[in-house]
Homo-oligomer: A and B are copies of this chain.
């Protein structure tokens, strides 16, 4: 592969350290996803559209799916589902909470919600994580 701008080196290393060959497509997708100040939420279709819009040579749909799955398996993305039955991905992988406002999703930092009481895990199980969804409606 042609040598890339050094500023992508961090993503190349990130991919390689997860056993993912840093192909052109994977590096570009990773850069697009992770090189930003704020974390964000997206569907694969949204990601594909916004990245391919500015490209002459398009990245294929299958590659977007493959790469997003690979990044999720490697622990760089978190998946969640809304009632419209499409997968959303979150670049914020730390345990946190969400406002759901008619299909719009807003992060809530973990420390904004604390519990007074939580149930025990059933026998033989343990708690992996606890996530809260606060559904919003308009104030009228």
> For residue A97, which residue of chain B has the nearest CB?
B119
* A126 touches which of B81, B87, B137 (Cβ 8 Å): B137
How many copies the complex holds: the figure is 2
Interface bits A105-140 vs B (CB < 8 Å: 1, else 0): 010100011111111011011111111111111110
Residues from chain B with a CB closer than 8 A to the CB of A117 are: 112-114
Count A-side interface residues using an 8 Å CB cutoff: 39
Give CA–CA (A134, B117) in the complex, Å: 13
A13 interface hit (Cβ, 8 Å): no
A81-B82, A86-B85, A115-B115 in contact; A122/B134 too (CB < 8 A)? no
Pairwise interchain contact A131-B135, C-beta atoms closer than 8 A: yes
A42 interface hit (Cβ, 8 Å): no
Pairwise interchain contact A134-B127, C-beta atoms closer than 8 A: yes
A115-B116, A131-B132 in contact; A99/B126 too (CB < 8 A)? no
